[in-house]
Amino acid sequence: MNAEPHLGPIQPEHARDGWKLRGDGQHWHLIKDYGKHLGVISATTPATCAWQITTRTGEFLREASAGADVDGARAAADEWVAGHLGSVTDQSARHDEPHKLA
């Protein structure tokens, strides 16, 4: 039995600078806790990804395609949060509840 191929450009080495890897090895996401807000980077095709920012209750604030550039997606999400939501830092140590992906 052959394993299903990994979907998308997200790799374990992208989990740094407050971004944490979640998923099952075939469908990976990066999650960043900004305190009252969450950042998520998900694969959109086998070769591309997009980032989004939501409130902790799931209210959608921003989403943008990042092509194949996962590092660019991380930087763009961080920059958007800093520019639109003020100066925030990684708050993952302050929130124990996991973010569930639909």
**pLDDT tens digits for 6-51?**
678 999 999 999 999 999 878 899 999 999 999 999 999 999 999 9
The whole-chain average pLDDT of the chain stands at: 85
Which pLDDT belongs to residue 3? 56
Q: Can you give the residue ranges of every domain in the chain?
A: 12-93
Which pLDDT belongs to residue 21? 95
| Cα 93 from Cα 79, distance rounded (Å) | 21
| Cα 67 from Cα 102, distance rounded (Å) | 21
- Residue 3, class by beta-carbon neighbours within 10 Å (0-12 exposed, 13-18 middle, 19+ buried)? exposed
Tokens describing residue 34: 């900004």
**Helices and strands (DSSP H and E) totals, the chain:** 1, 5
Tell me, yes or no, if the pTM score tops 0.85.
Answer: no
Which pLDDT belongs to residue 4? 59
- Residue 62, class by beta-carbon neighbours within 10 Å (0-12 exposed, 13-18 middle, 19+ buried)? middle
- Give the containing element (helix H, strand E) for 28: strand 28-33
